[in-house]
């Protein structure tokens, strides 16, 4: 935790010199055939706001005598896990602990991968709220693929440390759902940083936020439209028609470099990247009939939907989701707060899982995000009640490796396997009990949260000096 | 002669069944660990409910002949839970759907006369899911404005609004944390406004004749609103103030002392900071354990330990959903048990958390003689849980309200039946 204060008080540069095996310099993201290198415009891998994240100093740590839900296999009872150089070095019944390792006895406790929330608005709708911090919806036009959520993220949002204390180690921060196409998401590590760049997950792909149904037509119904669901669909298709055209022009120019390059368009650049498969689509959509239409639109223009978010009716088309390889980022029990959420059932997750589609427990809520384990537990019980019991080994996947897949990061995070990032949570007990809480949280092997030691918990700039917690 | 008598008895029984649903029978819940809440837990206890009321509780209670016997061995038996703050029944769809009947327009943001339960829909499909998870009573709270209106406590039973009501009103609801919402400019102005209205209510109380002859000065509120406030200034009807900031709670307490008003604090994000003073004044607090976000400058001290700290200091605490997400005001009032579990996780004694969802709300809303505990004479609102009621793996296996067991399929159950075997056809669900 010393590193934390180093960052807050001295600055990133001083800390960056700390030895670390996992330091990653900002590197171009996935390469594709069309790449022509940095400096060219409208290229797939242009990275104008590169991550400056540097893992915090870590020490070799062993947790032994602990129950481990790996999200990659059966529960290991009274097993051990070794974190070394920011990575998971070993997991099993026993591990060989190096002599210098810090050894933690985990008797009666549980270890899981860090939780991943693929639907967050932390930083873009920061606490304490109000218009001044309302930065999540560029509600000036129903189609705004040109905006990037990271440009709205306030790193001092006091909700970040609370999320970390809830065992969340990675977040996808999305623009809101006012717009048909809301803009780019950003994937963040839940770490203190002076800048959003210092929180950005190195190498993570961007996501594109799209939204179905009531929200866009409610926001734009009296402002030039769309005012109907059919207007929504016309809006998506018009945008993709332009994107296909834009991509064609740029792909041609990138291939032959003849003449002047086409004029850049920020929004179409993002959409073209979706068509090239470099940006993953996260589609807010409640109703099954609308999800089926969004799938047809994706087919029409040749892109893939990575995840339907909210999907309270996912259970009605679980077979279709499984066939299309689309995940469902859903709540355990939210419903009826609007018309399109009326058919919410608590067994949604169990039914979708049973049909063979990927289930993700998401939050869309700064409070719920702190207790995603409890949300999963409610959904497990709902499954059991209808004769579709969900094992803890399955439920942990809903919280970790499945959202990792939705973000395209399942090779780095989401399960406790040798070589993966040491994003680890030690729970006071069974994580699916209402009485369990994260006790310690590591990101890239660095201990960033310790419930037992309030003096070393991350506090944002915003929280400094306020009376309530300075009084005791 | 004989046949005449038989007919009369049969008629009487039929009338009873018709008027009280299927409650005209005897139920004996045996073998469970019974938490009466009004007294210590009873191992291997028996609870007998006859004609809708609890008629016996204890260890050596004989099971009456002909009673329906519920084996609760290894189970937990508690009073039905009371959710102290919801818009259940007056809000089917939060927004973009049918109208929400939780708020009145009022006059100058004052709607003291508003009786929210007049808009209650006993056929709301949101009622059954709540009851299925152990909520047997709830308090409908009006929202919005400065004085939002009057709250009612109802049971989750079928029938008319009158059938449901246990007591109405149970509180006058006002919000003093947000001047803007009350149509005013600042906190101070808000307190002045409340004072003005309470002063006017006092004056109105003693000068009604003059008012009727149009011989009084203009009042800050309408006749009906002033009249509705009289029980408040007489200390008969509690004033439930939604208020978060420490200084706002302090202002509310001063106001209550000055006007001799029975105060209740709702929300109370920073109530833990003045737990001792609230305890000394016996002011109840309605709050939750699932919010720690400084969601505004009035709630910087928001923390999950709030109910635990208040309870430890001796403040009467009723648990409510306070996380602000997930529709806890209607569809998810059923998550009260999760709130209680989290309260325990953050320092509240388990027994106090159980009390905070049963007997304490019944006491502070003045209906402890009807609901909130398992005692002889109380309504047969009893839940048999498969285990610890706050734990996720626990099911409400039997839910009795006024002695009748409810286990009908909810709308959600029917949706699941229709779609669990896909593709099926939607008009002809697969068997």
| ipTM score for this prediction | 0.93
- Show the CA angle centred on residue A167, arms to residues A350 and A341, nearest 5°: 40
- Show the CA angle centred on residue A18, arms to residues A17 and A21, nearest 5°: 105
Tokens of B187: 């906190």
CB contact under 8 A, A378 and B338: yes
* Whether the Cβ atoms of residue B44 and residue B57 lie closer than 8 Å to each other: no
Amino acid A32: pLDDT: 40
Structural domains present in chain B: 2-78+394-415 (2.30.40.10), 81-368 (3.20.20.140)
Amino acid B183: pLDDT: 85
Rounded (10°) angle between helices A288-301 and A229-256: 20
Query: How many contacts (CB atoms, under 8 Å) link A and B?
Result: 144
The dihedral built from the CA positions of residue A186, A191, A195 and A200, taken in this order, carries a sign that is: negative
Closest partner residue to B412 among A159, A337, A345, by Cβ?
A345
Where are the alpha helices (H) located in A276-410, listed in sequence order? 288-301, 318-324, 348-354, 372-385, 392-399, 401-406
Domain boundaries, chain A: 2-22+38-470
- Using the structure block, give the residue that is written with the tokens 């299309």: A324
On average, the pLDDT of chain B sits at 92
**Residues on chain B touching A379 (C-beta within 8 angstroms):** none
Closest partner residue to B332 among A333, A380, A436, by Cβ?
A333
**Residues on chain A touching B325 (C-beta within 8 angstroms):** 334, 363-368
- The CA-atom distances, in angstroms, between A127 and each of A130, A365, B55, B299 are 8, 12, 52, 10
Task: In whole angstroms, give the CA distance from residue B115 to residue B142.
Answer: 8
The CATH code for residues A2-22+38-470 is 3.20.20.140
Amino acid A45: pLDDT: 55
CB contact under 8 A, B294 and A319: no
Tokens of B111: 């709607």
Amino acid B7: pLDDT: 37
Tokens of B348: 């509240």
Amino acid A359: pLDDT: 98
CB burial of residue B12 (10 Å; 0-12, 13-18, 19+): exposed
Amino acid B176: pLDDT: 84
**Residues on chain B touching A343 (C-beta within 8 angstroms):** 415
Closest partner residue to B295 among A129, A335, A345, by Cβ?
A129
> Per-residue confidence at A168, pLDDT binned at 50, 70, 90?
very high
- Show the CA angle centred on residue A355, arms to residues A354 and A357, nearest 5°: 100
Would you say the pTM of this structure is higher than 0.90? Answer: yes
- Using the structure block, give the residue that is written with the tokens 């734009």: A220
CB contact under 8 A, A336 and B327: yes
- pLDDT higher than 50, residue B3: no
- pLDDT higher than 80, residue A53: yes
Calculate mean pLDDT across residues B266-282.
97
- pLDDT higher than 80, residue A200: yes
Task: Find out whether the peptide bond into A226 is cis, omega within 30 degrees of 0.
Answer: yes
Amino acid B94: pLDDT: 83
- pLDDT higher than 50, residue A183: yes
Calculate mean pLDDT across residues B265-270.
97
* Whether the Cβ atoms of residue A228 and residue A216 lie closer than 8 Å to each other: no
């Amino acid at each position: 935790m010393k590193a934390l204060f180093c960052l807050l008080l001295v600055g990133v540069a001083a800390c960056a010199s700390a030895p670390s095996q996992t330091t990653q310099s900002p590197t171009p993201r996935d390469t594709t055939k069309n790449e022509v290198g940095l400096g060219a415009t409208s290229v797939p891998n242009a990275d104008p706001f590169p991550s400056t994240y540097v893992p915090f100093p870590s020490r070799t740590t062993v947790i032994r005598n602990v129950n481990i839900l790996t999200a990659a296999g059966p529960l290991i009872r009274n097993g051990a896990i070794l974190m070394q150089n920011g990575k998971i070095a070993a997991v099993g019944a026993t591990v060989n602990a190096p002599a210098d390792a810090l050894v933690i006895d985990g008797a009666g406790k549980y270890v899981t991968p860090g939780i991943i929330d693929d639907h967050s608005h932390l930083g873009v709708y920061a606490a304490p709220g109000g218009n001044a911090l309302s930065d999540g919806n560029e509600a000036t036009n129903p189609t705004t693929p040109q905006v990037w959520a990271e440009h709205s993220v306030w790193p001092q949002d006091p909700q970040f440390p609370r999320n970390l204390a809830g065992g969340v180690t990675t977040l996808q921060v999305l623009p809101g759902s006012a717009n048909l196409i809301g803009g780019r998401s950003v994937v963040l590590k839940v770490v203190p940083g002076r800048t959003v760049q210092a929180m950005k997950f190195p190498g993570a792909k961007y996501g594109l936020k799209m939204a179905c149904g009531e929200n866009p037509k409610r926001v734009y119904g009296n402002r030039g439209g769309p005012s109907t669901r059919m207007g929504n669909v016309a809006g998506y298709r018009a945008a993709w028609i332009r994107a296909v055209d834009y991509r064609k022009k740029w792909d041609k120019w990138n291939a032959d470099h003849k003449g002047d390059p086409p004029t850049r368009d920020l929004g179409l650049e993002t959409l073209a990247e979706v068509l090239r498969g470099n940006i993953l689509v996260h589609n807010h959509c409640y109703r099954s009939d609308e999800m089926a239409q969004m799938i047809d639109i994706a087919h029409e223009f040749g892109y893939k939907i990575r995840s339907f978010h909210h999907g309270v009716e996912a259970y009605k088309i679980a077979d279709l989701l499984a066939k299309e390889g689309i995940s469902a980022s859903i709540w355990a029990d939210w419903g009826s707060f609007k018309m399109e959420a009326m058919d919410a059932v608590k067994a949604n997750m169990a039914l979708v899982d049973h049909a063979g589609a990927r289930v993700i427990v998401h939050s869309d809520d700064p409070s719920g995000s702190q207790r995603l384990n409890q949300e999963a537990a409610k959904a497990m019980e709902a499954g059991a009640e209808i004769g579709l019991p969900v094992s803890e080994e399955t439920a942990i996947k809903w919280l970790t490796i499945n959202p990792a897949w939705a973000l395209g990061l399942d090779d780095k995070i989401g399960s406790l396997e040798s070589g993966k990032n040491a994003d680890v949570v030690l729970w006071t007990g069974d994580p699916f009990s209402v009485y369990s809480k994260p006790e310690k949280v590591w990101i890239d092997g660095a201990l960033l949260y310790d419930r037992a030691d309030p003096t070393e918990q991350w506090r944002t700039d915003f929280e400094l000096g306020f009376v309530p917690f300075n009084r005791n | 002669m004989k046949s005449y008598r038989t007919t009369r008895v049969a008629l009487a029984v039929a009338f009873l069944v018709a008027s009280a649903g299927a409650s005209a029978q005897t139920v004996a819940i045996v073998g469970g660990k019974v938490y009466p809440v009004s007294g210590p837990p009873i191992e291997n206890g028996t609870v007998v409910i006859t004609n809708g009321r609890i008629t016996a509780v204890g260890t050596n209670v004989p099971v009456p002949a002909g009673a329906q016997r519920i084996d609760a061995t290894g189970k937990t038996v508690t009073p039905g839970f009371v959710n102290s703050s919801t818009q259940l029944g007056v809000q089917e769809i939060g927004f973009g759907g049918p109208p929400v009947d939780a708020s009145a327009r009022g006059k100058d943001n004052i709607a003291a006369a508003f009786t929210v339960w007049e808009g209650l829909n006993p056929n709301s499909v949101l009622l059954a899911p709540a009851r299925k998870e152990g909520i047997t009573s709830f308090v409908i709270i009006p929202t919005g404005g400065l004085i939002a209106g009057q709250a009612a406590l109802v049971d989750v039973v079928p029938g008319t609004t009158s059938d449901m009501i246990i007591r109405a009103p149970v509180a006058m609801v006002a919000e003093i944390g947000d001047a803007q919402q009350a149509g005013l400019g600042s906190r101070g102005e808000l307190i002045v406004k409340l004072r003005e209205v309470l002063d006017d209510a006092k004056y109105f109380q003693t000068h009604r004749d003059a008012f009727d002859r149009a011989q009084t000065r203009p009042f800050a509120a309408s006749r009906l609103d002033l009249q509705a406030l009289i029980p408040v200034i007489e200390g008969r009807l509690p004033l439930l103030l939604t208020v978060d900031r420490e200084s706002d709670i302090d202002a509310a307490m001063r106001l209550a002392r000055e006007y001799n008003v029975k105060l209740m604090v709702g929300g109370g994000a920073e109530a833990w900071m003045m737990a001792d003073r609230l305890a000394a004044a016996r002011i109840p607090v309605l709050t939750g354990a699932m919010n720690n976000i400084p969601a505004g400058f009035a709630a910087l001290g928001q923390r999950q330990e709030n109910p635990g700290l208040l309870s430890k200091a001796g403040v009467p605490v009723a648990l409510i959903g306070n996380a602000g997400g997930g529709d806890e005001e209607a569809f998810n009032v059923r998550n009260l048990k999760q709130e209680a579990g989290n309260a325990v996780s953050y320092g509240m004694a388990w027994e106090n958390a159980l009390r905070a969802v049963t007997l304490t709300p019944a006491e502070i809303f003045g209906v402890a003689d009807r609901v909130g505990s398992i005692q002889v004479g109380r309504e047969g609102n009893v839940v048999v849980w498969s285990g610890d009621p706050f734990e996720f793996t626990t099911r409400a296996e039997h839910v009795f309200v006024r002695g009748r067991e409810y286990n009908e399929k909810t709308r959600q159950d029917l949706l699941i039946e229709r779609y669990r075997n896909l593709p099926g056809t939607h008009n002809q669900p697969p068997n």
